[in-house]
């Protein structure tokens, strides 16, 4: 897929600048179908919607996302129900996007593309 799959999220305790919009667009090209949006406090985040046949498939996907998130120590916001899941990713400690967010997005996509 791309070089992001091979990388590991690096703990971020703040003190690092969030990506500017040009850096965001550069990295967005490396992940498939993730939208860059701003939340209600104008923080950039990645968002993607996933569709499934039923609730159990949605739940299985979410559980896999949870495993990857724990392995990477980087935790997205997950919304799911019958036949769908929505994932939002941002680096809360820097109030924006970092390479970690794109690494996690690429690894989440790998679940679907296996």
Residue ranges and CATH numbers for the domains of the chain are 37-114 (3.30.1360.20)
For the cut 50, the answer to whether the pLDDT of residue 66 exceeds it is yes
pLDDT level of residue 9 (50, 70, 90 thresholds): confident
**pLDDT score recorded for residue 72:** 94
Query: Which has the closest alpha carbon to 72: 49, 94, 105?
Result: 105
Q: Is the overall model pTM greater than 0.85, yes or no?
A: yes
Higher confidence at residue 10 or residue 86? Answer: 86
How far is residue 49 from each of residues 17, 76, 109, measured CA to CA in Å? Answer: 27, 13, 11
**pLDDT score recorded for residue 68:** 96
Task: Write out the two tokens for 65.
Answer: 């996302």
Residue 74 CB partners (closer than 8 Å, separation 6+): 9, 89, 91, 100, 101, 103, 104
What average pLDDT does the structure give for the chain? Answer: 92
DSSP letters, 3-27, are: GGGG-------S-SPPP-HHHHHHH
């Amino acid at each position: 897929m791309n070089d992001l799959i091979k990388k590991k999220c690096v703990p971020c305790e703040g003190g690092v600048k969030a990506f500017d919009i040009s850096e965001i667009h550069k990295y967005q090209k490396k992940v498939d179908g993730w939208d860059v949006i701003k939340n209600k406090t104008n923080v950039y985040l990645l968002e993607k919607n996933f569709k499934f046949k039923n609730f159990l498939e949605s739940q299985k996907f979410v559980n896999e996302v949870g495993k990857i998130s724990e392995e990477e120590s980087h935790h997205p916001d997950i919304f799911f129900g019958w036949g769908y899941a929505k994932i939002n990713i941002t680096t809360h400690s820097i109030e924006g996007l970092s390479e970690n967010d794109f690494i996690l997005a690429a690894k989440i996509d790998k679940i679907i593309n296996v």
